Amino acid sequence: MRHLDMSPYRPFREMGRSCRTRLIQDKVVRWARPEPRDSRDGRFVVRPLAQADVDAAAQLWRLSYPEIYGSPHNFMLFPEEYQARMALAETWEEDAVTKPCCMLVIQEKATGRLAAASLMTKFDANLQIEWTFAGTHPDYRQLGLMGLLGDTMEWVSRASGAEYLTTFLETWHTITQAETLKKAGGWRLAGIFPGNFTRWTKDQQEYRACEVHMYRFINDGGKYATKPEEWHLHPDLQKLWEALEAFNRGIGGPEAEER
């Protein structure tokens, strides 16, 4: 990062008294490379995207998540857009730092077909990873593939040095909402963003979809986050925060604490 002598400047309000602070220096999320891992029945393997997968991966996203057409994630539908953005198995060492996205794929071993995939996006200076998307090919749904992807995304996130995770759930997708609320695994509700992302509907039409946003601290990230007692919330927003906290205690229980 470019450094600046900040001594002549003053913050609007001195914050960070209820949490740890640290020296600002270069921050990097380095994609940790997961070892290929078989599904419990041995039929599938989960592994990082390789150059040879990009055509099949783009096709998988067209079939499993066509709603992203025309959105900021349109690039996922076009194989020629992958090299610039995705960490690839063949060039992992370099890509782990320079590429903003990490895609994991699940392959059916007998046929070589890609059955499911996920995409994570990193924000180095914020030590953040967004769990951006997960999709399973319609022929392979309800075989537990999301669980396999989720466990691997969890491992990559922790081993990559991120301390703040975010994700969003589609409001048209009741299954992921029900699953996330059933076993939140530390995720907390942040808010509901009406009209957040453009989404394809059919033919060449789009609309703006509402998304449910969630967040989680890992790797001690929560220790650097200001606590509510230090915030200056408008009384009406304070009420909203208390309702959110009550909701999050309900879905997470002890799991809602940082793990």
Ligand X SMILES: CC(C)(COP(=O)(O)OP(=O)(O)OC[C@H]1O[C@@H](n2cnc3c(N)ncnc32)[C@H](O)[C@@H]1OP(=O)(O)O)[C@@H](O)C(=O)NCCC(=O)NCCS
Q: What residues make contact with ligand X under the rule CB under 6 A?
A: 64-65, 116, 134-136, 141-147, 169-170, 173, 175-176, 179
Could you give the CA distance from residue 87 to residue 54 in angstroms, rounded to a whole number?
11
Provide, rounded to whole angstroms, the least separation between the CB of residue 221 and ligand X: 23
- Confirm if 162 and 122 have CB atoms less than 8 A apart: yes
Residue nearest to ligand X (CB): 146
Report, in Å, the least distance between residue 95 CB and ligand X: 25
**Cβ-based nearer residue to ligand X, 179 or 245:** 179
Q: Least distance to ligand X from the beta carbon of 178, Å?
A: 7
- Our CB check for ligand X shows the closer of 95 and 157 to be 157
Closest distance of CB 188 from ligand X, Å = 16
Please identify, using beta-carbon distances, which residue of 96 and 149 lies nearer to ligand X: 149
> Of the candidates 234, 188, 239, which has an alpha carbon nearest to the alpha carbon of residue 212?
188
| Strand pairing category for 206-217 and 188-200 | antiparallel
> 14 vs 41, which CB is nearer to ligand X?
41
